[in-house]
Amino acid sequence: MTIDLSNILIFKTNIQTEFDRLRIKNVLDASQKVLKWNIDMDDVDRVLRVVSDTLTAEQIISVLEYVGFECAELE
Amino acid sequence: MRTRNADKESLVKQEAIEMLVRDGFQGFSMNKLALASGISVATLYIYYRDKDDLIQKIGAEIGKQFMAKTLQGFNPQMGFAEGLRKQWENRAAFALKFRKEVACYEIIRHSRHGDDIVEESLKGFKTAMGDFTHNAIKNGELISVSVEVFWSIAYGPLYTLLRFHEEGKSIGGRPFKFSKKVMDESFQLVLKALQ
């Protein structure tokens, strides 16, 4: 499968623990608009990577903020 | 639209290899790599899912490169002495030419990614080498010993000499340089032991 690179969104987050990750997982897995996602728990910025044809960075940020996390797009 | 930039990608790979060799697995980070490569962290994450993904891809690529070079001019049907000699030449050439890649591959191989990478990148290689030794045993050119004993005798001396070369000195700090003469000498002894 090839992914259009412009459909990949990258964020800096304050996700800390595996429990945090599971909370995010529940939300992102539930959305059919999210094709793929992962969080690099090894990185200081806990980088969240989302692949989606339709969602905008703002929409993802608001979802994460709704669940109670800080999230900012990395340029 | 963002597009993949092949030059940038190969620069990132080179930087990643250098960083892994210099700082080790623990000292490696996506942030540092982005900074060293002159790209943004976001761009790096567009190419690679995470640190593990990047390290696995780099390991697999070096493995493939190693396999291609090592099998050059070699085929499993070769006589034992001729085939093993070719292996020595190819392996020595690879180690001497791609020093950083070899060091990096060793670091990755000994990390938790090791098994996956060896499985993935060396599939065809293992089959070729297996066929080669089986033929040699069948033809009475090689004594039948366990894989571990075979490997340590067949390649151990070569890699020891290459390590001396890499360090620039041998036991007791004696200056050392790898040469064809040294290789030929030890190769003859190895043959004697295995035939």
- Return the pLDDT at B110: 84
Integer angstrom CA distances of residue B171 from B16, B161, B163, B181, B182: 32, 11, 11, 19, 15
pLDDT in tens, B89-131: 999 999 999 999 999 998 888 888 777 777 777 778 888 999 9
Rounded to the nearest 5 degrees, what angle is found at the Cα of A17, between the Cα atoms of A12 and A20?
75
For chain B, the domain total comes to 2
Among B2, B25, B49, B56, which would you mutate to test the A interface (most chain A Cβ atoms within 10 Å of its Cβ)? B49
Contacts of B190 (CB under 8 A, 6+ apart): B84, B153, B154, B157
Asked if B116 contacts B157 with a C-beta cutoff of 8 angstroms, the reply is no
- The CATH number of the domain holding residue A69 is 3.30.70.100
pLDDT in tens, B5-29: 778 888 999 999 999 999 988 888 9
Same domain, B71 and B18: no
For chain A, the domain total comes to 1
Same domain, B93 and B174: yes
**CB-based contact B50 A40, cutoff 8 Å:** yes
Q: What global pTM score does this model have?
A: 0.79
- The CATH number of the domain holding residue B71 is 1.10.357.10
For residue B3, give the chain A residue with the closest CA. Answer: A5
Residue keyed to tokens 């994460």: A64
Among A4, A5, A11, which would you mutate to test the B interface (most chain B Cβ atoms within 10 Å of its Cβ)? A5
Q: Is residue B98 part of a domain?
A: yes
Same domain, B44 and B66: no
- Confirm or reject contact between A38 and chain B (CB < 8 A): yes
A25 or A6: whose pLDDT is higher? Answer: A25
- Return the pLDDT at A2: 61
pLDDT in tens, B166-181: 999 999 999 999 999 9
Instruction: Show the domain range for B97.
Output: 58-194
- Confirm or reject contact between A1 and chain B (CB < 8 A): no
- Confirm or reject contact between A74 and chain B (CB < 8 A): yes
Q: Is residue B153 part of a domain?
A: yes
B88 or A45: whose pLDDT is higher? Answer: B88
- Return the pLDDT at A4: 74
Q: Is residue B53 part of a domain?
A: no
Instruction: Show the domain range for A18.
Output: 5-73
Same domain, B102 and B165: yes
**CB-based contact B42 A6, cutoff 8 Å:** no
Asked if A11 contacts A71 with a C-beta cutoff of 8 angstroms, the reply is yes
Closest Cβ opposite residue B46 in set A10, A42, A43: A10
pLDDT in tens, A16-66: 999 999 999 999 999 999 999 999 998 888 999 999 999 999 999 999 999
